[in-house]
Amino acid sequence: MTKASCLLVAVALISLTACSPTPNASLPAGVTLIEKVQASDDTLVIPYSKYRLANGLTLIVHEDHSDPLVHVDVTYHVGSSREEPGQSGFAHFFEHMMFQGTEHVADEEHFRLITEAGGTMNGTTSSDRTNYYQTVPVNQLETVLWLESDRMGFLLDAVTQEKFEVQRETVKNERGQRVDNQPYGRLGESVAQALYPPDHPYSWPVIGWMEDLNRVNVNDLKKFFLRWYGPNNATLTVGGDVNSQEVVRLVDKYFGDIPAGPAVSPPTAPEVALDRTRYLSLQDNVHLPLLYIAYPTVEAFHPDEAALDVLMQILGSGRNSLLYQNLVKSQQAVQAQASHGCSELACQFALLALPHPSAGMSLDKMEQAIRDSLQEFEQRGVTQDDLDKIKVEIYTDAIFGLQSVQGKVSQLASYETFLGNPDFIQKQVDRYKSVSKEDVMRVYDKYIKDQPSVVMSIVPAGQPQLAAREDNYQPPVRPQLGPSDTKAEDLSFRTTPKTFDRSVRPKPGPNPAVTLPVYWQDKWANGIEILGTDNPETPTTALLLRVQGGAYQQAPEKAGVAGILAAMLTEDTQLRSSEEMSRALDKLGSSILVSATDESLDVFVNSLSENLPQTLNLLEEFLFMPAFNPDDFDRIKNRAIESVRNAKKNPGYLANEALRELLYGKDSIAGMPRGGTEQSLASISLADVKNYYQTWFKPAEAELILVSDLDKQAIFANLDKMQAWTGSAPDAEPVFGEPVYQPGSIYLVNKDEAAQSAIRIGKRGLKKDFTGEFYRTGLMNFPLGGAFNSRINLNLREDKGYTYGAGSGFGGDSYVGRLTVSADVRADVTVEALKELYGEIRQYAKEGIDKNELAFLRLAINQQDALEYETPYAKLSFLAQILKYDLEPGFVKARARIVDNITAKEINALAEKHLQLDEMVTVIVGDAETLKPKLQELDKPVMDYHLE
């Protein structure tokens, strides 16, 4: 799906009643009601009221009284596409700066206040828009509007050179973590440089070129803000348990006085055309070479976009696609897929493949295989199934999107920003309904067949000969610009009048009453325990089946067998092929996923309730009639091995697995990767998988959790085979090894020329509980590393600019637990960052929590409940833990009492007990040759470490 079509995430069966723009006597002066959409029966739409303030701010209000929460989204119609060459990355930079305090909100206060209110928040930047959003208990709405309005109207005086420098380092760390230190991380920006002309705004990455950020000064950033971040270029969308008139009153109070910025015109889409196919290559620290073919097509909401999406699905989405059948199923490729990513100014149709090393497929042969698949499509054409699948997907995505207020708010905000019309859902669905077979063939002929493309080869470092062809294109060299000389006096500032005291934080009302899911219990004769709850908000059913047989039950020498079994349980059955099963699920709009966790095999089902009988029939066929086809086994096993090899190029994976080995021992099942090692996976046979299935996939002590608008009898009536299922798994506790590290030592894993170092500090901990010492250690850790405003994150990210993020946490399950402190930091400050982490841990263990942190903890933890049970998935997770840990119904209230009554003395005792640095081990993944001499200066043993 394209970005545009994926935006279709919320829908209700209602019809439109629109008002022409008109003032309303009940509205504040200067506020105009643009339209009102009300519920009915015959049109797909989300009900809303749309207003416009005199300063140009668009306000959309959606009332949803199902949960006592509110979601607030502010979307500015500015992304990297509004930037100028030589000034890339500004929009993304401002995403960071907008959290750094304003004239009336102190530094880091935005995160603290939202966390303290029991809410969640973030911001995102794309090529075309930037949005900031919060979900909070409904009594905190005015606080959110106060915060958002202050950074729209009172930001620039608080943007200092010091903050600018710190956030510039944070952005560099973000790029290092997400791009430079990731396998294939530079793929997107490399293709964009070849696909678009140098002055096209999509030719540079959203995060920007670091040399651009290095050359500009704080006044350049302020100039960008003054141009694009006015209320007339923003949409404020509020959804949840609110009253529209009250929202309008508050929005007018906080936003109405903010002056409009310069006029903003919709951007125009420059033509993108290639004169010939451009070949280029990139050497990277990767295990497998990658081939990527990209064609320029249209832009989002273009009349041809929907037909190109259908073409994309036929070629490379799902098990019935041509690329999967021709390349993955035949084991010529580990992965092969298509995509059609659409943005406001351009779309990109892409075909991607990673050759399977055992197939001997070079990238030039892979390119030919992909082009042969295109030729096959020309002969195959389009089937009715192809059209039906995407139409069902559109509809079901819409229904599932109704499950969260955030989904509906995001949908309204996006359509308003890009189309000026929040009521586009029906039109969006109609676009796909109207696609014909002829449309798909027409867009193939126009945009893909014999058209020039960009062909990108990413090859392992030192192996340029693996590229599909010799490079015939080099991106133009970016001009080397000198430092910016923009001065404060060059800027045209706007002043927001202060008609009330904005320094006073709004006082929230009483915490809303939160209703916990009312659940029912049952148990079948075969031993399956069942927990369910009614969810009448959407006509959907979510089901989770948990069966013994997770990674802990594996023999260490066969680690990975549980994951292979999980994958095989959605392959061929004794009655149908996996392609036939996939096609049947697609037509229903249902999904069935099976995964292996440490403790269990988890089967997750999502379905429209009207299609539940057919979906459960397919589920039982998957689970009780697997074919265990040898070809499926070979493909899944080989893919698992390649996945492990590829993961070893990721420093975060290396750090986490090294820590696991040191805590539990290389020969312990807990010390091995959940998915196995290359050696253990290679030793697994199909007989091993069948034996594991016969031994562990049993109903006794299994758990079934249901969240549905149907009653349990209606669901049980379609689970005959599951109720007739019999058998018990062995009664065997997993055996865990002892720690194998020298306490207080540093273990160094080499990754040549790493842009960042991955740091992990840890020790064994308590197994999970919900009201005991484990739960209390989590409270103790909250101010140290459990929130954005924690000591560790504020120090390393906000004060020092060493990292994109750092934190700590106590994790656990039914058997074991551990403490992990983690940070990925700039390579050149590895030792300095490690010293800061050690210092924070020591200080907290010695001095403990302060009174402000304790007050913050109590407010933040106890106000989170309003957000905990909104969606079916959230309810499913809540019920699953009740069943797994045999919790009493009152455990939520018991935990609230613990939070209310826990003392600083108790927290400090827990810190002193669990945070002794000399008991911990440190793992660092980075360039060992550079780091080792510096680490040895810390007066700690430093040992080279190699993963199995």
pTM (whole model) above 0.85: yes
Residue type, 497: P
CB 823 within 8 A of CB 806: yes
1-78+129-153+228-474 fold = Cytochrome Bc1 Complex; Chain A, domain 1 (3.30.830)
How many whole angstroms separate alpha carbon 53 and alpha carbon 257?
10
Q: Count Cβ atoms within 10 A of the Cβ of residue 334 and give its class: 0-12 exposed, 13-18 middle, 19 or more buried.
A: buried
Among the residue ranges 6-20, 769-783, 871-885, the one predicted with the least confidence is 6-20
Domain boundaries, the chain: 1-78+129-153+228-474, 519-724, 746-944
Bridging pattern class, strands 529-534 and 703-708: parallel
Q: How far is CA 185 from CA 174, 242, 332, 644, in A?
A: 12, 42, 23, 18
Confidence band (pLDDT; 50, 70, 90) for 661? Answer: very high
Residue type, 125: T
- Locate 280 and state its tokens: 């280029």
- Locate 427 and state its tokens: 């039109």
- Does this chain's domain 519-724 share its CATH topology with 746-944? yes
How many whole angstroms separate alpha carbon 826 and alpha carbon 329?
41
Among the residue ranges 1-10, 344-353, 445-454, the one predicted with the least confidence is 1-10
CB 306 within 8 A of CB 432: yes
Which of these, 537, 249, 587, lies nearest to 393 by C-alpha position?
587
Domain 746-944 in CATH 3.30.830.10:
yes
Structure confidence at residue 25 (pLDDT): 56
pLDDT digits (tens, 9 = 90+) for 578-631: 999 999 999 999 999 999 999 999 999 999 999 999 999 999 999 999 999 999
Examine the pLDDT at 16 and tell me if it is beyond 80.
no
Q: In angstroms, how far is CA 20 from the centroid of its own chain? A: 39
How many whole angstroms separate alpha carbon 944 and alpha carbon 52?
63
Structure confidence at residue 163 (pLDDT): 87
Confidence band (pLDDT; 50, 70, 90) for 3? Answer: very low
- Across the range 11-21, mean pLDDT stands at 37
CB 675 within 8 A of CB 646: no
β-partners of residue 58 are 52, 235
How many whole angstroms separate alpha carbon 532 and alpha carbon 897?
26
Main-chain phi, psi angles of 891, to 5 degrees: -65, -30
Degrees (nearest 5) of the Cα angle 375, 378, 381? Answer: 140
How many whole angstroms separate alpha carbon 465 and alpha carbon 457?
10
Structure confidence at residue 178 (pLDDT): 87
Neighbouring C-alpha atoms within 13 Å toward the C-beta of 758: 23
How many whole angstroms separate alpha carbon 576 and alpha carbon 637?
21
Identify the three-state secondary structure at position 651: helix
- Locate 639 and state its tokens: 């893919």
Main-chain phi, psi angles of 877, to 5 degrees: -65, -40
| DSSP per-residue letters across 259-322 | PP-S--PPPP------SS-EEEEEEES-SS-EEEEEEE---TT-TTHHHHHHHHHHHHSSTTSH
Identify the three-state secondary structure at position 943: strand
Structure confidence at residue 161 (pLDDT): 87
pLDDT digits (tens, 9 = 90+) for 831-887: 999 999 999 999 999 999 999 999 999 999 988 877 788 888 889 999 999 999 999
Say which residue the tokens 């010939």 belong to: 276
519-724 fold = Cytochrome Bc1 Complex; Chain A, domain 1 (3.30.830)
